[in-house]
Structure 1
Amino acid sequence: MLPKKSPLPDFRQMYISAFGYWEKKHKLAADFFGVTEQTAKRWYETNTPHPSAYRYLAVHNSGYLPLTNGWRHFSIDKDGIMHTPHGNCTAGDIAMLWRYKWTAEQSAKQLVITRAKLKEITSGTKYKMLLHTADYLNRLVKDFSD
């Protein structure tokens, strides 16, 4: 089954997001796209840019992440911080992800081993004898304290 296509962002909204509302926005856009200021202004006013310009601006606005469903609400800012729907993370966080996953896997394995040992200890006759002895000692202490 093919993934559902998401609607693409509006060119004008991306244009304003990238270059602002001020009067020099078309000059900034022209420098960014490598076209004349008149061409950038026409693309903005008609909302029909060249397809390559649209893709270039879409990539720029998404923080250089793809516009596919999995990355749609993610972006990377100019400081290199990735903004996600669940919070922000740095390049160091992403680099250490393998370590976090390895640690979680090791902890899960250790938990399984510990639970098995506990079950073994609490199901044996030695444990039952130990509980019986503890009960007997508690009764003796109670008898001596009376």
Structure 2
Amino acid sequence: MLLRTENDTQDFAYRLAKELQPNDVLTLEGQLGVGKTTFTKGLAKGLDVKRNISSPTFTIVKEYRGRLPLYHMDVYRLENSMEDIGFDDYFFGNGITVIEWASFVEDFLPKERLDITLCYTGNDNQREITLTPFGEHFEQVVKALS
């Protein structure tokens, strides 16, 4: 699916947020600057988070309160690390976990999750988004967004 603007990216994430439930884990992959944090801002709006969303690059995890808690992780700094920062507390807590650069902590990821990849298309702000569901719940989520 093509997302033509930043607003399209946020709107798509907003719609996705309405389909989520506690304990859902979303992974975000894509090059630097492709829109992972922009996506998370839209997701936060859909979860009724009132605070400004920024990348947790240097803190690794930022927590936000909304209709459901939002746990926003950027695990880029954990590349080549087998450090478990208490992932299970987030994955099996009562909120939504979003993990940027999730491939760096693949061994810790739950089996049921929604993998999201954002790619540049070469056309200005346009991005391509790919959703890969793992588990029946996420298959239903993807179907609802189609």
Q: Provide the TM-score with structure 1 as the length reference.
A: 0.25
Q: Provide the TM-score with structure 2 as the length reference.
A: 0.25
Larger radius of gyration: 1
Higher relative contact order (CA 8 A, sep 6+): 2
Q: Greater strand percent: which structure? A: 2
